[in-house]
Amino acid sequence: MVDVPYDRIADVPPAEVPEVELYHPKSWWTQYVFSQDAKVIAIQYSLTATAIGLVALVLSWLMRLQLGFPGTFSFIDANQYLQFITMHGMIMVIYLLTALFLGGFGNYLIPLMVGARDMVFPYVNMLSYWVYLLAVLVLASTFFVPGGPTGAGWTLYPPQAILSGTPGQDWGIILMLSSLILFIIGFTMGGLNYVVTVLQARTRGMTLMRMPLTVWGIFTATVMALLAFPALFVASVMMLFDRVLGTSFFMPALVEMGQQMKYGGGSPILFQHLFWFFGHPEVYIVALPAFGIVSDLISTHARKNIFGYRMMVWAIVAIGALSFIVWAHHMYVSGMHPHFGFFFATTTLIIAIPTAIKVYNWVLTLWRGDIHLTVPMLFALGFIITFVNGGLTGLFLGNVVVDVPLSDTMFVVAHFHMVMGVAPIMVVLGAIYHWYPKVTGRMLDDWMGKFHFWVTFLGAYLIFFPMHYIGLLGVPRRYHEIGEAAFIPSSTHTLNAFITVMALMVGFAQMVFLFNLVWSYFKGRPSGGNPWRATTLEWQTPETPPGHGNWGKELPVVYRWAYDYSVPGAEQDFIPQNQPPRPTRAVQEAAP
Amino acid sequence: MSAIILFMAVIAVIIGWWLAQQRLTAKPWLEEGSIDRFPGTGAMTLPAAKIGLGVFLAVASSLFALFMSAYSMRMNMVDWRALPVPGLLWFNTGVLVVSSVALQWAYVAARRNSMDGVIVGLCAGGASAVIFLVGQLLAWQQLRAAGYFVASNPANSFFYMITAAHGLHLMGGLVALGRTTAKVWRGAEMPQVRLSVELCTIYWHFLLLVWLVLLGLLTGWTDDFVDICRRLLS
* Facing residue for A234 by CB, picked from B8, B38, B67: B67
Residue of A nearest to B70 (CA): A270
Question: Which pTM was predicted?
Answer: 0.94
In this predicted structure, the answer to whether residue A111 has a pLDDT above a threshold of 80 is: yes
The rounded mean pLDDT for chain A is 92
The per-residue pLDDT for range A26-56, each reduced to its tens digit, is 888 888 889 999 999 999 999 999 999 999 9
- B30 inside domain: no
- B19 inside domain: yes
* Facing residue for A273 by CB, picked from B1, B58, B80: B1
Residue A318 sits at the chain B interface (C-beta within 8 Å) = no
In order of A426, A444, A512, A523, B206, the CA distances from A447 in angstroms are 17, 9, 11, 14, 57
In this predicted structure, the answer to whether residue A485 has a pLDDT above a threshold of 90 is: no
Count of alpha carbons within 13 Å of A124, Cβ hemisphere only? 19
C-alpha angle A501/A506/A508, rounded to 5°?
A: 95
Task: Decide if A151 contacts A168 (C-beta within 8 A).
Answer: yes
- B28 inside domain: no
The verdict on a CB contact (< 8 Å) between B1 and A277 is: yes
Q: How far apart are CA A1 and CA A571, in angstroms?
A: 11
Lowest mean pLDDT among A481-490, A514-523, B140-149, B166-175: A481-490
In this predicted structure, the answer to whether residue A520 has a pLDDT above a threshold of 80 is: yes
Kindly list the residues from chain A whose CB atom is less than 8 angstroms away from the CB atom of residue B165. Answer: 237
Task: Decide if A375 contacts A446 (C-beta within 8 A).
Answer: yes
The per-residue pLDDT for range B192-234, each reduced to its tens digit, is 899 999 999 999 999 999 999 999 988 887 777 777 777 777 7
Cα dihedral B119→B124→B125→B128 (10° resolution): 160
- B161 inside domain: yes
Count of alpha carbons within 13 Å of A39, Cβ hemisphere only? 21
Element of type H or E holding A338: helix A338-366
CATH number, residue B64: 1.20.120.80
The per-residue pLDDT for range A439-465, each reduced to its tens digit, is 999 999 999 999 999 999 999 999 999
Q: How far apart are CA A146 and CA A143, in angstroms?
A: 9
DSSP code per residue over A27-44? SHIIIIIS---HHHHHHH
- pLDDT of B208: 97
- Measure in Å the smallest separation between the Cα of B127 and chain A Cα atoms: 27
Identify the domain containing residue B58 by its residue range.
2-23+40-229
Q: Would you call B44 exposed, middle or buried from its count of C-beta atoms within 10 A (0-12, 13-18, 19+)?
A: middle
- B33 inside domain: no
More confident residue, A20 or A482: A482
Per-residue pLDDT band at A591 (split at 50, 70, 90): low
Residue of B nearest to A20 (CA): B48
Residue of B nearest to A224 (CA): B59
- B93 inside domain: yes
Domains and CATH numbers, chain A: 36-252+261-590 (1.20.210.10)
- B132 inside domain: yes
Average pLDDT on B98-118 reads: 94
More confident residue, A21 or A245: A245
What are the backbone angles phi and psi of residue A409, rounded to the nearest 5°?
-110, 175
More confident residue, A106 or B40: A106
- B179 inside domain: yes
Residue B20 sits at the chain A interface (C-beta within 8 Å) = no
- What is the ipTM metric for this complex? 0.94
Per-residue pLDDT band at A15 (split at 50, 70, 90): very low
In order of A164, A260, A261, B199, the CA distances from A257 in angstroms are 9, 8, 9, 55
The verdict on a CB contact (< 8 Å) between B150 and A245 is: yes
Residue A343 sits at the chain B interface (C-beta within 8 Å) = no
Residue A565: strand pairing partners: A574
The per-residue pLDDT for range B5-56, each reduced to its tens digit, is 999 999 999 999 999 988 888 888 888 887 766 777 788 888 999 999 999 9
Kindly list the residues from chain A whose CB atom is less than 8 angstroms away from the CB atom of residue B44. Answer: 199-200
CB atoms within 10 A of CB A75: 8
* Facing residue for B55 by CB, picked from A196, A245, A314: A196
The verdict on a CB contact (< 8 Å) between A227 and B8 is: yes
Chain A window 272-311: which residues touch B at a Cβ cutoff of 8 Å? 273-274, 277, 305, 309-310
In this predicted structure, the answer to whether residue A16 has a pLDDT above a threshold of 50 is: no
SS (H, E, C) A122-147: HHHHHHHHHHHHHHHHHHHHCCCCCC
- pLDDT of A355: 95
DSSP code per residue over A559-581? -S-TT-BS-TT-SSSB--TTSPP
Percent above pLDDT 70 for chain B = 98
- Number of structural domains in chain B: 1
